[in-house]
Structure 1
Amino acid sequence: MKTKYLFLLLITVLLSSCEDIETSDLGLNSAWLQFENSADNMSEGEASMQVPILYSSNKNTDGVDVSFTYTATVPSGFTVLPANGIVNIPAGEFVGYITVIPEDDSIASDDIIITFSIEGNTAAPLGIAGQGIYNITSDFTIIEDDCPIAIDDFVGTYSVDDVFTSGTNEGLTLAGAFGESYQMEASLVAGDVTGTKLMFNNSPGFNTYFNDGTVVTFITCTKEVIFDDGFPLLAEWNVFEYSASSYSDDTKSITCTGDFQNFGPFRFTITKL
C-alpha cells in the first residue's frame, strides 16, 4: 500500500512541475523560428560567413519571411545582407541565412560584436520549441586580425648599418665602398589612417641612402616591412631585392637581407638613435 501511495504521489509532483513550464504545441502542426547558434565568430580576414535561421516545422509550402534586426559595438567595418532585414526561407526549405561580410583593413582595433535578433512579427513563434527564450538572438563576433604598433615611437633619426655578409665582398659596406656616410629621418605619413607607415628622408649633411620620400609599411602581425614603391634603391647605386625583412619594437630597427644582385649576400639595418 505504501508503494502505491508513493508512486501516486510522485506522479502528482511531476504533473504539478510540468504545469509550471509553458510549452508550445509540439504536434504535427507545430513550428518555430530560431537561430541555429546563439553565438558564432569569424576572422576579419575571411571573405564572408553565414548566420543560419532555422524554420522548425514538418512542412513549408508557401515559404517564410523572417524579419531580423541587429546592433553592433561599432557601426562600421562590416556589411550585413539582406540589407532590408528580411530573410526568405523558400517553400520546401527550412533554413535561411544572414550573411556577414567583414571589412579587412590594416587598422588594429577591437573585435566587433553584432547581436542579431529575430523580430516577433514573423510567421511562427520564436526560440527553441517556440518558447521565446533560447536562440532568439545570436551574438556574432568579427575577430580583429591586425596587430597594433605604436608607430609614433618609430619617428626620429636613424643610423644605417649595412654589410655584405659573405662571398667575395664579405665585410664591405656601401659607406666604405663609396666613401659616404648615411643617416635618415623618419616621419609619419600624412593621411595614413592605418598607423603603419613611415616616410624616410636623408638627414641634412649626409649622403643619400634611401631616396627621399621613401615610404615603408609595417606588416604588424608578421613583423615584416614592405616598401610602398617597390624594392629600394640604395645609395643611388642599385636596387636591393631583399628576400626577408623584419622590424623590432624593442630596438626600433628595420632589417632587410638577401642577395644584392650579383654582388653577394647583403644586409642592412636602420636603427632609431
Structure 2
Amino acid sequence: MKKYIYKLMALLVVFSFASCEEDPVVFDASGGFVQFSSESAAITEDSGDVVSTVILGSGSNPSGVSVDFTITTDDASRFSVSPASGTVEIPAGEFSADITITAIDNFDVDGDVELVINLSTSSSLPVGIGGEGVNFASRAITIIDNDCPLDINAFVGTYMVSEQFTAGQNAPRGLSDFFSESYQVEIALDPNDTSGTKVIITNSAGFNTYIGDGGPVVMSFNSCPGTLTFDAGFPTVGLFRTFEYTASSYSEDSPQVIKCEGPLATFGDYEFVFTKM
C-alpha cells in the first residue's frame, strides 16, 4: 500500500512542476508574413538610390499583398521616398517589392541623419520574421553627409605658382624654365556660387599667362575628400597643353596651398602648386 502512496505523491510533484511552466509561444504565420531584406544600411548623401526590399515570407501570394509603412526621421528634407503614399504593393505571384529611398545632396554641412522605415499593417499579414513583429519589421538607413566644413574665404588672394615635371626627361624643370616665364594667379569668390565651394582663378597682372582657356577658370573644392575639380574640365596651363591631372589636394592651413599632379600630354608627369602669398 505504501508503494502505491509513494508513486501517487511522485506523480503529484511532477504535475505541480509542469503547471508552473509557461506555455510555449507559437507564431501562426501559415498565411505568410512580411519583413525587410535587412535591418540597416548606410549611404553617402550623393550616392544615389537605396532600395529597401520588402519580402513576403512563407505562404503563397495568389492575390497580391498591400504593405503599409511609415518613416520616422529628424529631417525629412534629406531624402525622398517612393511610393510616397506609404503603401507598397507586392504583386500577385511575386514575393518582394521595393521602397526606394533617394538621398538628396543639399551641399550643406548638416551632419548625418537617420531614418527608420517601419512596416505596419499588410493585408492582415503579420510583420517581422515569422510574424513576431520584432526582427526585420523595421529598417534603419543612415544618410552620411558628404559636405565638410570649408572656409572658402580663406582661399581668396594672390598665389605664387610653382610648377615642374616630376618624372621623365624633363624633370625637374617646369614650363617656366623652358619658356623663361614667371607665373602668379589671383583667386576670388565665384559670384554665381551658392554652395560656398567655388572660386575663380585669373592670371595676375604683370605676369605671364599660366591658366589658359581664354578667360577666368572656375575651380570647385570637394570638401570631404579634399580634392579639386575645374568646372570646364581639365585646365590648360601655360598656354601649352590640357593638364589631365590624376590627383589633387588642398590645405587650409596658413599659407593655403592648392596642388594638382598628373601627366601633361606625352611630356611626363607634372604638377602645379599654388601657395598663397
TM bin, normalised by shorter chain, reads 0.7 to 0.9
* Structure 1 pair 64–240 and aligned structure 2 pair: CA distance change class (3 A): closer
Q: Is the 8 A contact 1:242 1:256 kept in 2?
A: no
What residue number does 2:124 align with?
A: 123
Alignment of 1:226-245 (within 5 A): 226-235=229-238, 237-245=239-247
How many residues of Structure 1 are paired with residues of Structure 2 in the alignment? 266
* Structure 1 pair 95–163 and aligned structure 2 pair: CA distance change class (3 A): closer
* Structure 1 pair 54–256 and aligned structure 2 pair: CA distance change class (3 A): closer
Q: Distance in 2 between matches of 1:264 and 1:94?
A: 57
Q: Distance in 2 between matches of 1:262 and 1:61?
A: 65
Q: Is the 8 A contact 2:242 2:264 kept in 1?
A: yes
What residue number does 2:40 align with?
A: 39
Comparing 222-231 with 64-73, greater Cα deviation is found at 222-231
Post-superposition shift, 1:210? 1.9
Deviations 1:152-192 (A, max 9, x none): 33222211112345666555554455555433221222343
Q: Is the 8 A contact 2:65 2:122 kept in 1?
A: no
Deviations 1:34-61 (A, max 9, x none): 4343433344454433223333442333
Q: Is the 8 A contact 2:61 2:92 kept in 1?
A: yes
2:77 aligned with 1:76 = yes
SS at structure 2 position matched to 1:110: coil
Q: Is the 8 A contact 2:67 2:121 kept in 1?
A: no
Q: Which of the residues 199, 218, 221 maps onto 2:221?
A: 218
* Structure 1 pair 3–69 and aligned structure 2 pair: CA distance change class (3 A): same
Q: Distance in 1 between matches of 2:267 and 2:54?
A: 63
Name the TM-score, length of structure 1 as normaliser.
Answer: 0.75
Give the root-mean-square deviation of aligned CA atoms: 3.6
Q: Is the 8 A contact 1:107 1:146 kept in 2?
A: yes
2:25 aligned with 1:10 = no
* Structure 1 pair 70–175 and aligned structure 2 pair: CA distance change class (3 A): same
SS at structure 1 position matched to 2:69: strand
* Structure 1 pair 169–43 and aligned structure 2 pair: CA distance change class (3 A): closer
Post-superposition shift, 1:240? 4.1
2:90 aligned with 1:58 = no
5+ long unaligned stretches in structure 2: 1-5
5+ long unaligned stretches in structure 1: none
* Structure 1 pair 107–55 and aligned structure 2 pair: CA distance change class (3 A): same
Name the TM-score, length of structure 2 as normaliser.
Answer: 0.74
2:257 aligned with 1:253 = yes
Post-superposition shift, 1:270? 0.8
Deviations 1:99-152 (A, max 9, x none): 223346766653332221234474234445545455443222233455554433
Q: Is the 8 A contact 2:247 2:262 kept in 1?
A: no
